[in-house]
Chain A
Amino acid sequence: MGVVTRKKLFSIIALGAMVVALLLPIVMALPSPATGEEAPAAEGAQKEGEKVEKARDVYYKTEGIVVGAPAPKTTDGPADYPRYNFESRVLLWFANQQHLYYGSFVLAVPIFCMIIEFMGVVTKDKALAKRYDQLAYDFIKISLTAYSLTAILGGILIFTFLTLYPTFFSYLSSIFRPVMHIYALMFVAESGTLYIYYYGWDKMKEGFLKWIHLSMSVILNVIGTLLMFLANSWIGFMMSPAGVDEQGRYLGNIWHVIHTALWNPLNLHRILGNMAFGGGVVAAYAAYKFLAAKTDEERAHYDWMGYIAMALGVAFLIPLPFAGYWLMREVYAYRQQMGITLMGGLLAWLFIIQATMIGILFLSTNYYLWQAMGRMRGAEKYQRYIKYLVFLLACGFMVFITPHTMVMTPAELKAMGGQQHPVLGNYGVMSAKNGGINVIITTTVLSFVWYMRGNKISTVSWARFGNIFMGVFFACAYINIIFLAIYGYYIPANVRVGLSVPQVATTLSCLFFMFTLNSMMMKGAKQLGPIEWGKISARSQYALIMLATAFTWMMGLMGYIRSSVRLFWHVNEIMRDNSPWAYTHTVGFAANVISANVLFFWISILFVFWLGSLTAKKAPVEAKVGVPGAIPQPAGSH
């Protein structure tokens, strides 16, 4: 057997083992959702001559045989809520948030790797393919140390649960018992796959083996995504329980417990959020390396890395508000009061902070793109129009952060004669806010289009018509979005809520049609000069760091909002929180804890980056590849 054949055989066996590792836990779990666990329980009950008790599912309204114990009624004491001399909830909040930050980072980065490695495989330009491959390898190297930290933080989180909230945790794990082992086994499969994927990189560089390696990254990401879906089912159950009766007794159908009202909106929102977050963190890493770079070659490499990470992150950031909107609609559909608490009551001002952060994200992205035009010849023609984009962004931002209601004392409410503020009550309705954010996103799309055609001149015969059509389409899109935002003030609220859909469709039309039209126009376009990577202002790199920090802060904020909406329930309307901390924190306190979380995450991940740079220094230095016009390789090649 030849060496190559043996390599192929081993790689196929490794890939097969990964697929088995992926499918095994699912196959093991099949009997329980298929036949239901009520069967053995029912048989046992009939044997003893007892009556089988049936109950109704709180969400699905189907009847099921009771197989679980009711949710415990806790009391404030050391049995249910043992504690240190500190607020248990804040300790758990901290452990949870850190695990989530790292977890989302290590789930997002392998997806980036898969995309970039695939781009490298299908790219015909050999030098570019090599650079993509190197970049994908750099990405996975960053996430490897973070992966160990994620596991450690997961362990700390479980110990925090067991130590501070033992009764709640034992109830939750009893409900999810049929799938708890799947989570653990998936974690083993994820670890094994990741290590084979990372350490097999050099062994599987060419041809067929490269495709096997790429397939491994697909398996790795399927496992990672399933892990996240399972974790999402726990928080979905806590917010919108299903599969249990009114007393919280498990009714034997694990699929009902997992597939709650909010599970799928949470899944989509978290996948997109993880990707945008991962892109932001890698872009910030590249920015830090760019600012610390000593040579033009290093600057060129990290400038390119920062741009790719930012572009991938923003590609997922653009649909993120729409996924969030779907999640909120589902919250309203599930419990209207929960939606009102979030958007128009106790937590409404946290959403104003969220709107501010979203505005900062898009402003930073646009600023980076305008700065990035500086690295290409020919983009000067767009510079004089940038001030108009700034005006559009600022207007959209101000509309987006305008509140509709105020937090008031009873005396203020009385003086005002009701909840409606005489001035603010006229502003801040949803169709206007949607108009604001859609103007911001459409402007970001326009900035991207300008960036993509910065150093090119279209040579197609219909170039003039294409340019005019693009200008008119964008102008009409802005007019439509703003018209719908104003129109919302003249029609009843029940009609107004529907306006968000055509607004979103307008923005997405710009995204899909204009990107497609632009790429058609730029086919075979005349180049005014190459993109000079590394020739970009230091300010642009601070914009990338700003983007990542704002996203980290916003993720902490939204996690807090999502948890707080349960108010004094561990499991909404099923298991009450009777600890001394079942109240909602003030906005200021919450913001301080979120800031502390963000600070801890960034300090710890800087340590991870530093560790990664130590291994890079030890790696053998590869000879420079002298490709004319290509971007030089970094010194620390693998």
Chain B
Amino acid sequence: MSALNNPVIAVIVSLVIAVGYFTLVDHYLMEMQGLDFWYLFRQ
């Protein structure tokens, strides 16, 4: 736990969790509606 309290490690771990979580939310919640979240990137 002490390593996590290191600000640099804390920011990196937090960013990985938050960015990963929101990417999954965007992808799957669009897919549930039958829509493609990555529509523009596939053009």
Q: Residue B7 contacts which of A464, A473, A477, A487 (CB distance < 8 angstroms)? A: A464
Q: Does A468 contact B (CB under 8 A)?
A: yes
Residue contact B1 to A462, C-beta cutoff 8 Å? yes
Residue contact A480 to B26, C-beta cutoff 8 Å? yes
Query: In which size bucket is the chain A interface?
Result: 20 to 34
Q: Residue B36 contacts which of A461, A468, A495 (CB distance < 8 angstroms)? A: A495
Residue contact B35 to A473, C-beta cutoff 8 Å? no
Q: Does A39 contact B (CB under 8 A)?
A: no
User: Nearest residue in B to A461 (C-beta to C-beta)?
Assistant: B1
A499–B39 alpha-carbon span in the complex (Å): 12
Residue contact B39 to A509, C-beta cutoff 8 Å? no
A471–B17 alpha-carbon span in the complex (Å): 13
Residue contact B5 to A502, C-beta cutoff 8 Å? no
User: Nearest residue in A to B4 (C-beta to C-beta)?
Assistant: A465
When each residue 484-513 of chain A gets 1 if its CB lies under 8 Å from chain B and 0 otherwise, what string results?
Answer: 100100111011001101100110010000
Supposing A468-B7, A468-B11, A468-B14 touch, asked if A506 and B22 sit within 8 A by C-beta, the answer is: yes
Please give, as numbers and ranges, the residues of chain A lying within 8 Å of B17 by CB-CB distance: 469, 473
Please give, as numbers and ranges, the residues of chain A lying within 8 Å of B14 by CB-CB distance: 465, 468-469, 471-473
Please give, as numbers and ranges, the residues of chain B lying within 8 Å of A501 by CB-CB distance: 29-30, 32-33
Chain A positions 568-599 with a Cβ under 8 Å from a chain B Cβ = none
When each residue 4-34 of chain B gets 1 if its CB lies under 8 Å from chain A and 0 otherwise, what string results?
Answer: 1101001101110111011001100110110
Q: Does A398 contact B (CB under 8 A)?
A: no
A461–B37 alpha-carbon span in the complex (Å): 39
Q: Residue A502 contacts which of B15, B19, B26, B36 (CB distance < 8 angstroms)? A: B26
Residue contact B1 to A484, C-beta cutoff 8 Å? no
Please give, as numbers and ranges, the residues of chain A lying within 8 Å of B11 by CB-CB distance: 468, 472
Please give, as numbers and ranges, the residues of chain B lying within 8 Å of A499 by CB-CB distance: 30
Residue contact B15 to A472, C-beta cutoff 8 Å? yes
Please give, as numbers and ranges, the residues of chain B lying within 8 Å of A162 by CB-CB distance: none
Q: Residue A498 contacts which of B7, B15, B19, B33 (CB distance < 8 angstroms)? A: B33
Query: In which size bucket is the chain B interface?
Result: 20 to 34
Residue contact A468 to B29, C-beta cutoff 8 Å? no
Please give, as numbers and ranges, the residues of chain A lying within 8 Å of B22 by CB-CB distance: 476-477, 480, 506
Please give, as numbers and ranges, the residues of chain A lying within 8 Å of B39 by CB-CB distance: 491-492, 495
Residue contact B33 to A490, C-beta cutoff 8 Å? no
Q: How far is the CB of A492 from chain B (nearest CB, A)?
A: 8
User: Nearest residue in B to A470 (C-beta to C-beta)?
Assistant: B14
Q: Residue A464 contacts which of B10, B15, B29, B35 (CB distance < 8 angstroms)? A: B10
Which of A475, A477, A494, A498 has most chain B Cβ within 10 Å?
A498
User: Nearest residue in A to B37 (C-beta to C-beta)?
Assistant: A502
Q: Residue B4 contacts which of A462, A492, A494, A506 (CB distance < 8 angstroms)? A: A462
Q: How far is the CB of A480 from chain B (nearest CB, A)?
A: 4
Q: Residue A506 contacts which of B1, B5, B25 (CB distance < 8 angstroms)? A: B25
Please give, as numbers and ranges, the residues of chain A lying within 8 Å of B32 by CB-CB distance: 501
Please give, as numbers and ranges, the residues of chain A lying within 8 Å of B19 by CB-CB distance: 476
Residue contact B5 to A464, C-beta cutoff 8 Å? yes
Which of A471, A472, A473, A509 has most chain B Cβ within 10 Å?
A472
Residue contact A462 to B25, C-beta cutoff 8 Å? no
User: Nearest residue in A to B32 (C-beta to C-beta)?
Assistant: A501
Please give, as numbers and ranges, the residues of chain B lying within 8 Å of A505 by CB-CB distance: 25, 29
Supposing A469-B17, A498-B33 touch, asked if A484 and B26 sit within 8 A by C-beta, the answer is: yes
Please give, as numbers and ranges, the residues of chain A lying within 8 Å of B26 by CB-CB distance: 480, 484, 502
Residue contact B15 to A462, C-beta cutoff 8 Å? no
Q: How far is the CB of B29 from chain A (nearest CB, A)?
A: 5
Supposing A462-B4, A472-B18 touch, asked if A498 and B30 sit within 8 A by C-beta, the answer is: yes
User: Nearest residue in B to A460 (C-beta to C-beta)?
Assistant: B1
User: Nearest residue in B to A479 (C-beta to C-beta)?
Assistant: B22
Supposing A495-B35, A509-B21 touch, asked if A469 and B10 sit within 8 A by C-beta, the answer is: yes
Residue contact A468 to B10, C-beta cutoff 8 Å? yes
Q: How far is the CB of A332 from chain B (nearest CB, A)?
A: 14
User: Nearest residue in B to A487 (C-beta to C-beta)?
Assistant: B40
Which of B7, B19, B22 has most chain A Cβ within 10 Å?
B22
Q: How far is the CB of A461 from chain B (nearest CB, A)?
A: 6
A492–B35 alpha-carbon span in the complex (Å): 11
When each residue 443-486 of chain A gets 1 if its CB lies under 8 Å from chain B and 0 otherwise, what string results?
Answer: 00000000000000000011111001101110111001000100
Q: How far is the CB of B13 from chain A (nearest CB, A)?
A: 8
Residue contact A476 to B15, C-beta cutoff 8 Å? yes
Residue contact B1 to A491, C-beta cutoff 8 Å? no
Q: How far is the CB of B19 from chain A (nearest CB, A)?
A: 6
When each residue 554-580 of chain A gets 1 if its CB lies under 8 Å from chain B and 0 otherwise, what string results?
Answer: 000000000000000000000000000
Supposing A495-B36, A506-B25 touch, asked if A465 and B18 sit within 8 A by C-beta, the answer is: no
A69–B29 alpha-carbon span in the complex (Å): 47
Please give, as numbers and ranges, the residues of chain A lying within 8 Å of B33 by CB-CB distance: 498, 501
A484–B25 alpha-carbon span in the complex (Å): 12
Supposing A472-B15, A495-B35 touch, asked if A502 and B7 sit within 8 A by C-beta, the answer is: no
A499–B35 alpha-carbon span in the complex (Å): 9
User: Nearest residue in B to A474 (C-beta to C-beta)?
Assistant: B18
A609–B26 alpha-carbon span in the complex (Å): 48
A462–B13 alpha-carbon span in the complex (Å): 13
A495–B33 alpha-carbon span in the complex (Å): 9
Q: Residue A491 contacts which of B7, B15, B21, B40 (CB distance < 8 angstroms)? A: B40
Q: How far is the CB of A62 from chain B (nearest CB, A)?
A: 28
Residue contact A490 to B4, C-beta cutoff 8 Å? no
Residue contact B25 to A509, C-beta cutoff 8 Å? yes
6 shortest interchain CB distances as A-B pairs: A472-B14, A476-B18, A468-B10, A498-B35, A465-B4, A469-B14
Could you list some 10 contacts between A and B, CB below 8 A? A462-B4, A464-B5, A469-B17, A473-B17, A475-B18, A495-B30, A495-B35, A498-B29, A498-B33, A501-B33
Q: What 14 additional pairs, Cβ within 8 angstroms, besides A468-B7, A468-B11, A480-B22?
A: A463-B5, A465-B4, A469-B10, A472-B18, A476-B22, A487-B40, A492-B39, A495-B36, A501-B30, A501-B33, A502-B26, A505-B25, A506-B25, A509-B25
